[in-house]
Amino acid sequence: MATKRILSGMRPTGKLHLGHLVGALENWVSLQSAYLNYHLIADYHALTTDLESSELENNSLEMVIDWLSAGIDPNKSILFRHSQIKEHAELHLIFSMLITTSRLERNPTLKEQVRDLSIENISYGHLGYPVLQSADILLYKGEVVPVGDDQLPHLEITRDIARKFNNQYGKVFPEAEPLITKFSRLPGLDGGQKMSKSLNNTILISDNPENVITKMKSAVTDPLKIKRNDPGRPDVCTVFTYHTKFNTNEEKEIRGGCESGSLGCVECKLKCAAAVSNSIAPIVEKRIQLEKSPATIWDILYDGETKARKVAEQTMQEVRSKMKLGILK
C-alpha cells in the first residue's frame, strides 16, 4: 500500500503536448504504484498570467482526458480542481506572511514567464504563485515532489515555508524532497528551450499521424546542414533530440547517417514523425474513447475532489490549532 504522498499539478490550458508527456505525465504514471498521488488542476494558477476564465472548465476537461489517456488511474491517483478546495486559498494566505517579496522577485521561473509572455506589469498573484504552489503541496503533506531541474527553486521556497511555519507554530508540515524528472524538458519545434502552446512550437499528444508529420516538417535542424550530403551535427538538431526520446532503437543509425551526410533532413524528420506517432498511438486511441463520455470524466473529478477536500480540511484544522486560531465549527 502506497503511503508517501506526492502532489503534482498543471495549469489547465487544454490539450497537452509532448513536453507535458515527457516532462511530467510519464513520470506520474510510473509513480502511481509507489506513492499516493494527488493531481491538481491548477485553475487558480492559470489566472496569474491570464484573467480570462471562460475556457477554464473546458480546458480542464480536455487536460484530464489527456491525463487519463496517458495512463493516470483514478483508482490509484486523486484528481481534483484547485478552485473546488477552498483550503488552498486559506493556507496560501497564511504562507504569504512567511516569505519576503525580495525572495519571490529572485524566482528565475517568474523571470522566464515574464519574458516569454511579454508581461509588462506583474500582478500580486503572479509574484506570489510559488507561495500558492507551496500551499498546494503542503496542504496534502506532500513528502516527495517530481520536478525538473528548472523547478528546484520553487521547491526550495516550499521547504523554507514549511520550516518557518514548523519553527514558529509547531510541527505540521514535512519538508518535501525533490524527485528529479530524468527527461524534464523537450525543446520546441522552433529550437526553443521548451515546448509551449503560447510559442506555437508544439506537437500535441492527441495529434494524428498527419498532423505530426506536418508539424515535424517545420522543426529546426542544424543550420549548417543545407543539402542532403552535407555532414550534420545531431547534437545541435532539435529533431535528433526527439529521436533520442521516441526513437531509441534507431538513434545510433540516425546519428551516423546525419554525421556522414547520407541521411537528409526531410527523411530524418519523417522517421522521427513516425516514431512519435507510434509512441502516442495508444494515447490517441484511448482519448477517442474517453471523449465519448464526458460525464464519466466529471464523476472522476467529483470523487477526487471529495477525497481531496477531506484531507485539506483535516490539515487546516491542525494549522488553526497550532496557530491558536481556533477550530472552525
The mean pLDDT value for 142-163 works out to: 86
The mean pLDDT value for 191-220 works out to: 92
Whole-number Å distance between alpha carbons of 71 and 64: 11
Residue 138 has pLDDT above 90, yes or no: yes
When pLDDT is cut at 50, 70 and 90, the band that residue 1 belongs to is very low
Whole-number Å distance between alpha carbons of 257 and 263: 5
When pLDDT is cut at 50, 70 and 90, the band that residue 183 belongs to is low
Order of strands across the sheet with 177-180? 77-81, 36-41, 5-10, 144-147, 177-180
What the chain holds in terms of domains, given with CATH numbers, is 5-185+293-323 (3.40.50.620), 207-288 (1.10.240.10)
- Asked if 238 and 245 count as a contact pair (C-beta separation under 8 A), the reply is no
DSSP 180: E
Q: How many CB atoms neighbour CB 201 within 10 A? A: 22
When pLDDT is cut at 50, 70 and 90, the band that residue 261 belongs to is very high
Please give the model's pTM, rounded to 2 decimal places. 0.91
pLDDT digits (tens, 9 = 90+) for 273-328: 999 999 999 999 999 999 999 999 999 999 999 999 999 999 999 999 999 987 55
The mean pLDDT value for 57-86 works out to: 96
Residue 228 has pLDDT above 90, yes or no: no
The pLDDT value given to residue 68: 98
The pLDDT value given to residue 33: 87
Q: Which residues of 261-276 are buried (b: 16+ CB within 10 A; e: fewer)?
A: eebbbeebbebbbbbb
312 CA to centre of own chain: 22
Residue 2 has pLDDT above 60, yes or no: no
Whole-number Å distance between alpha carbons of 22 and 6: 18
The mean pLDDT value for 104-121 works out to: 75
Tell me the pLDDT of the chain averaged across its residues.
91
Whole-number Å distance between alpha carbons of 137 and 144: 9
